[in-house]
Structure 1
Amino acid sequence: MKSLEERYLYRLAELYPTIASVSTEIINLNSILNLPKGTENFLTDVHGEYEAFNHVLKNGSGSVRRKIDDVFGNTLSKNDKQSLATLIYYPAEKMRLILQNEPNPDDWFKITLYRLIAIARRSTSKYTRSKVRKALPKEFAYIMEELLSEQSGVMDKEDYYDAIISTIIKVKRAREFIIALSELIQRLVIDHLHLVGDIYDRGPGPHIIMDKLMNYHSVDIQWGNHDVLWMGAAAGQVGCICNVIRICARYGNMDILEDGYGINMLPLATYANTYYSDDPCKCFALKADNTNNPQEHDLNQRIHKAVSILQWKAEGQIIKRHPEFHMDDRNLLHRVNFEDGTIEYEGRKLKMLDCRFPTVDPKDPYAFTDEEKDIIDRLVHAFRGCDKLQQHMKFLLAKGSLYKVYNGNLLYHGCVPLNPDGSFMVVEIAGQRYKGKALYDVLENYIRKGFVAGTKEERELGRDLMWWIWLNPGSPLFGKTKMATFERYYLAEKDTHEEKKNPYYKLYEKEEVVDMILREFGLDPAGAHIINGHVPVKTMKGESPIKCGGKLLVIDGGFSKAYQKETGIAGYTLIYNSYGLILAAHDPFESTEAAIANESDIHSDRRIVARVDHRQRVSDTDIGRDLKDKIKDLEELLAAYRSGAIPERYTMK
């Protein structure tokens, strides 16, 4: 009987049946190891702001502009460079504007094509010809491959390439070719995208962002608390569903549910109009309003209140169902005195700002009425039955995780829960105690169980834990003592609104704490970094995204417009190329139309966080380590062929 190693070599021999084929593959893999490391782009907390997200994706967090600078240096003016960059971002739209006033379009086409080819050629330098070939659009693949492999200084070849470009213009395909070249450049400047959480909530287009990500060439996602909330809703968890609808209503984004996902809100809207038609719902004012219709605004405000009360009922039932969650203090409805409009709150009797609860039974405040049960059942059916939402969630499950270790960096959205003394906080999950990496692992396991577990009990616990992850003090994606939603709506006392952060947010400036976290996840603190999202960096108040001397980087700078008054910018992104880590700060994004017409870019400032001693190669990356392992296996196969232990197999012609 063959050993496991022998069986593996025989399976490998099926792929490489001869000495020649093995040798060729070893040569190919060794050549790849010596290519420059591909560029990684890190984004976080995009919160549905799809236009700004789309722009940053197109400009590669400034990578396109850097390529233009590399190629043209001082031979192009600043204005010409910016115009060329805008063309690459939005080729069809920008061409339309340019050609309206261009007296010699053929000349413009020729100059522009040569410039784009030069940038595309520089962008291909990190890749094998095989990888570039796979990225080429089918329609122009052969022509592009010829143009991108030009050898400068060869006279006959220069005439040949000039003839190709002239023919492209002559047959009226220059527009399409420019679009294809621009999209190729966008594709090549970023080798891999990391999205470090919170695609959903606040902004108007998380579903559009998800569609974009599903078509992106290489991406991973670290789930944020808002993403897990939507995952729970898609799995049918009632508390998650109510939170999702409340946030959509609060930010004037009901269109996400109704138009983006086709989820029917009519039963809930009818219910809200029935019970709150004469209620001004003053405590439930909208954070944003995407409609100029006063009636629609009022309806959204009524839905906002109606679903908030449904949420507190649903959450009360979850807390009663799971005493091990230790969240009894967050059940507040039964503490309300509905007659005098007060609440017993942490030993104090406080006046409620609003005491209209027409659907709450004071004797059993967490019970749904029959009408509410019907609405909840319909909502669960709608969320679980929405094909587009389910496809988006399957993508999150396939490409996502609670954390990721990649090329010497640790990526996660929230925080590693810590005690005040800097030790890992111990958290109880399903009767067991976890901390550090083990806490992340068990929670991720339960999230997946919420969708695919074989037993109903495991699925239900997984779904309830998705709600727990959203707001429990022990959750690594929440990291606060409480979620004071009820208090912010109903109580004027500001001290009741306070949500104290986990000690992590003070301790992450201590090198010994950051080193402890890195080691916990299997990384050597000497050269590793933590890439962190979740909490906006208050740049206006002088806060820096660079923590612990550069070992920890918080790159949530306020993509969401709701945060930009606090942050003063529109987000940080991070680039990790073959030369090191570059942090980019972005100005607020006005609109796609303004970016095209005014050639305004949102890349505003960049700082080198870490520069490597030598230019990194593929051999220095995780992919490189995998390739080295494969080379070792192939070398063993080659030795087996040459020793006669495994016979070569030739195909007879």
Structure 2
Amino acid sequence: MSALETAQRQLLAERYPTRAEAAAALVELQATCALPRGTELFASDIHGEFNAFSHVLRGGSGAVRALIAEAFGGQLSADEAAELLSFILYPQEKCAFVAAGPNSLEAYLAEQLPLAVAVARRAAASTSLDAVCALIPEDFALMEELVAADPADAAKRVYCSAIVAGYLEAGEGVSFAVALGTLIQRLVVNQLHLVGDVYDRGPAPQLIMEELLTFPNVDVQWGNHDILWMGAALGQPGSVANVVRICARYGNLNILEDAYGINLRPLAAFAAEAYADDPCAAFGLKDRTGLTDAEATLTEKIQKAMAIIQFKVEAQLIAENPSFGLEDRNLLHLVDRERGTVVVDGVEYELIDTVFPTVDWEDPYQLTPGEQAVIEQLCAAFQNSEKLQRHMGFFLEHGSLYKIENGNLLLHACVPLNADGSLMEVTLFGETYRGKSLYDMVDRCVREAFEAEGEARKRGLDMLWYLWLGPGSPLFAKSKMATFELYLIADKAARKEVKNAFYSLLDNAAVVDGIFEDFGMDPAASRIVCGHVPVKAKDGEDPVKADGRVLCIDGGFSAAYQKTTGLAGYTLVSNAEGLFLDANTPLASREAAVKENADIVADRRVLERYPRPATVADTDEGAVLEARAALIASLL
């Protein structure tokens, strides 16, 4: 026995001082390994679409609907089943809706609660009682009796009915319904893997973060938009400028003001004055929903003001970090004011917008005093937002650049490759990295931005910005970030952002196998799960690549991408039965889900069905438990 095993056994002996205690622990571990494998739910590129994501998560991508069908078969009509589903997914909102109507809330609860208990009992059947009890609030400990009871036992049925009736008589029916609904929701998803991009474009990323904070088991693989917000939260000027500009572009400045308490009045006053007579022709909004004409006009001016500030602060970052290789992104000094043109990659293009009131053409990247005051105030406001710091702290604690679990390599965008499929070498801060070493270095830099001091912290902060737009960034995966061109040049040739070779080689099994080998994984039993680039399903693009070795699950949760994908997001489900890919339909609204029992109906594709139900022993967690069991057996 090795010294490590001897030390481990000694610790176990201290933890289990008697043979009976050690035997009980061994039996528990062995029994846990025999349980059905828990359900893993994978989603990516949520982009602020809280309603749709929350609905999918609460329902386990159709799992609750399936449990209702299993529990009641044909006993419930389609309308009754839909009502029960809505009650389980939205107990608080559903009760409020019923209470506001003509019908009795108490009668409604008396009808729905026993049905929900039957669903909870079904959901808990493949989970240990200890695990179920850990999800039950102390105030409703008797729920354990309801879940564990045998429905065939007449005496137990009477007992359980008395418990439900007792909560109703005590005026705790709504609270009990919320606890019961939450229990079912937690039981149908054992682990949530969020493969990047909670933020930008959609209206409510902060609500997604609040829901994630309450979820027991979740991990996040940082996306490029998440990294941008992490940098902004630390006051990194390039990240702040990009975040504010994007929020303005999508008409979502209220996210900053209302959700995170970031004061935009100094910015608005500056933009209104500096661009007072500027039509901001190239800065129209992607979404004007909910904005008056005056608000939309001001938001366009804010967007342009932040774009120009961004170009200037990024020029400083580029000068400070020559290893980033981003000098070609400095374009302001290449503008010919008389001709109304700019030279990009040696080609002269006509500008859409030639009004630059804050640019000193003798020193085009110098911030004006007004711009300097704006960016300093914004950086401080981001750093002082308590809610934003809490949300980014969650990202840091539960997130990473990649994760390997149960044979899946989870990453947001790509492993940068050369055209021949070899791992692309990226030189940053004087060192060269590729593949896994690049990922590990970047992950370390991100953490240093939050936790280190001095030069290491500065390096981490600048890396957060580089990850957003650098050609060697595993989160960006393109040749350039053409923000300047997208705003100011109509010619699409100038706007072209060439994707990394990773995306053209995804169907090359040999190339994918090389990635697995670099990450220390078995190519014969591994998959890459990624997002970042929307799958054009409506045009026949298949999210399954390389004979199932790669799964691209960005299916357009964001409404901004649904015209591209033709659907409303993918969710990947791995459970005891197999591996399944759900292509989701849009959710009309959260209100419709509560009041009209609207649902997301997915087109489910079977990627793999196991010949026998998988158990915990078949997972990475099972391997850890079996190793621990072997040590305890040795102790015995």
Cα 1:450–1:175 shift into 2, 3 Å: closer
Whether the 8 Å contact between 1:550 and 1:610 is mirrored in structure 2 is: no
Q: Does 1:47 align with 2:67?
A: no
Whether the 8 Å contact between 1:571 and 1:585 is mirrored in structure 2 is: yes
* Partner residue, 1:522: 520
Secondary structure of residue in 1 paired with 2:525: coil
Q: Does 1:532 align with 2:530?
A: yes
1:137-152 equivalence runs, <5 A: 137-142=137-142, 144-152=143-151
- Paired letter, 1:184: L
1:585 pairs, out of 583, 586, 603, with 583
1:138-537 equivalence runs, <5 A: 138-142=138-142, 144-454=143-453, 456-537=454-535
Shift, 1:557, TM fit: 0.7
Q: Deviations over 1:300-327 (max 9, x none)?
A: 1101000100000111111121221111
* Partner residue, 1:83: 83
Whether the 8 Å contact between 1:236 and 1:380 is mirrored in structure 2 is: yes
Supply the distance in 2 between the matched residues of 1:385 and 1:113 (Cα, whole angstroms): 44
* Partner residue, 2:10: 10
Shift, 1:104, TM fit: 7.9
Supply the distance in 2 between the matched residues of 1:205 and 1:348 (Cα, whole angstroms): 40
Secondary structure of residue in 1 paired with 2:298: helix
TM-score (norm 2): 0.96
Shift, 1:364, TM fit: 1.3
- Paired letter, 2:502: Y
Whether the 8 Å contact between 2:95 and 2:105 is mirrored in structure 1 is: no
Shift, 1:369, TM fit: 2.0
Q: Deviations over 1:266-319 (max 9, x none)?
A: 221111111101101010001112433222211111010001000001111111
Supply the distance in 2 between the matched residues of 1:205 and 1:609 (Cα, whole angstroms): 32
* Partner residue, 2:118: 118
Supply the distance in 2 between the matched residues of 1:149 and 1:615 (Cα, whole angstroms): 23
Secondary structure of residue in 2 paired with 1:415: coil
Whether the 8 Å contact between 1:228 and 1:466 is mirrored in structure 2 is: yes
Whether the 8 Å contact between 1:223 and 1:401 is mirrored in structure 2 is: yes
Supply the distance in 2 between the matched residues of 1:260 and 1:183 (Cα, whole angstroms): 25
Q: Deviations over 1:73-129 (max 9, x none)?
A: 233232222221111111233345457778787665444233211110111122211
Q: Deviations over 1:518-541 (max 9, x none)?
A: 222222222322111111111221
Q: Deviations over 1:385-429 (max 9, x none)?
A: 222211211111110011111111111100111111111111112
Shift, 1:637, TM fit: 2.9
Supply the distance in 1 between the matched residues of 2:527 and 2:64 (Cα, whole angstroms): 25
Which range moved further: 387-396 or 33-42? 387-396
Secondary structure of residue in 1 paired with 2:185: helix
TM-score (norm 1): 0.94
Secondary structure of residue in 2 paired with 1:283: coil
Supply the distance in 2 between the matched residues of 1:557 and 1:462 (Cα, whole angstroms): 31
- Paired letter, 1:375: V
- Paired letter, 1:149: A
Supply the distance in 2 between the matched residues of 1:544 and 1:512 (Cα, whole angstroms): 19
Supply the distance in 1 between the matched residues of 2:215 and 2:162 (Cα, whole angstroms): 34
Supply the distance in 1 between the matched residues of 2:478 and 2:486 (Cα, whole angstroms): 15
Whether the 8 Å contact between 2:556 and 2:569 is mirrored in structure 1 is: yes
Secondary structure of residue in 2 paired with 1:500: coil
Secondary structure of residue in 1 paired with 2:580: strand
Supply the distance in 2 between the matched residues of 1:266 and 1:385 (Cα, whole angstroms): 16
Q: Deviations over 1:187-211 (max 9, x none)?
A: 1111111100000101111112111
- Structure 1 stretches lacking a partner, 5+ long: 639-653
Q: Deviations over 1:186-239 (max 9, x none)?
A: 111111111000001011111121111111111000000000111111122111
* Partner residue, 1:609: 607
Cα 1:149–1:415 shift into 2, 3 Å: same
Whether the 8 Å contact between 1:545 and 1:554 is mirrored in structure 2 is: yes
Shift, 1:41, TM fit: 0.7
Secondary structure of residue in 1 paired with 2:192: strand
Shift, 1:438, TM fit: 0.9
Whether the 8 Å contact between 1:253 and 1:290 is mirrored in structure 2 is: no
Q: CA RMSD in A?
A: 1.9
| Residue identity (%) | 47
Q: Deviations over 1:568-605 (max 9, x none)?
A: 21100111111111111111222111122221111321
- Paired letter, 1:546: V
Shift, 1:464, TM fit: 1.0
Supply the distance in 2 between the matched residues of 1:172 and 1:392 (Cα, whole angstroms): 35
Supply the distance in 2 between the matched residues of 1:628 and 1:381 (Cα, whole angstroms): 50
Secondary structure of residue in 1 paired with 2:571: strand
- Structure 2 stretches lacking a partner, 5+ long: none
* Partner residue, 2:23: 23
Supply the distance in 2 between the matched residues of 1:377 and 1:175 (Cα, whole angstroms): 48
Shift, 1:7, TM fit: 4.2
Cα 1:520–1:165 shift into 2, 3 Å: same
Supply the distance in 2 between the matched residues of 1:4 and 1:103 (Cα, whole angstroms): 66
Supply the distance in 2 between the matched residues of 1:42 and 1:323 (Cα, whole angstroms): 38
Secondary structure of residue in 1 paired with 2:62: helix
Supply the distance in 1 between the matched residues of 2:213 and 2:105 (Cα, whole angstroms): 36
* Partner residue, 1:647: none
Q: Deviations over 1:17-47 (max 9, x none)?
A: 2212111111111111110011111111010
Cα 1:349–1:103 shift into 2, 3 Å: closer
Supply the distance in 2 between the matched residues of 1:93 and 1:166 (Cα, whole angstroms): 21
Whether the 8 Å contact between 1:488 and 1:497 is mirrored in structure 2 is: yes
Secondary structure of residue in 2 paired with 1:126: coil
- Paired letter, 2:581: L
Supply the distance in 2 between the matched residues of 1:100 and 1:462 (Cα, whole angstroms): 52
Cα 1:9–1:310 shift into 2, 3 Å: same
Supply the distance in 1 between the matched residues of 2:481 and 2:161 (Cα, whole angstroms): 64
* Partner residue, 2:625: 627
Which range moved further: 505-514 or 170-179? 170-179
Supply the distance in 1 between the matched residues of 2:391 and 2:177 (Cα, whole angstroms): 32
Secondary structure of residue in 2 paired with 1:507: coil
Shift, 1:361, TM fit: 1.3
Supply the distance in 1 between the matched residues of 2:232 and 2:368 (Cα, whole angstroms): 21
Whether the 8 Å contact between 1:291 and 1:297 is mirrored in structure 2 is: no
What is the aligned length?
A: 635
- Paired letter, 2:152: G
Supply the distance in 2 between the matched residues of 1:48 and 1:608 (Cα, whole angstroms): 28
Which range moved further: 26-35 or 101-110? 101-110
Q: Does 1:63 align with 2:63?
A: yes
Which range moved further: 504-513 or 72-81? 72-81
Shift, 1:178, TM fit: 2.7
Cα 1:57–1:637 shift into 2, 3 Å: same
- Paired letter, 2:503: Y
Supply the distance in 2 between the matched residues of 1:628 and 1:468 (Cα, whole angstroms): 42
Q: Deviations over 1:496-518 (max 9, x none)?
A: 11111111111101121222222
Secondary structure of residue in 1 paired with 2:294: helix
* Partner residue, 1:649: none
Which range moved further: 314-323 or 97-106? 97-106
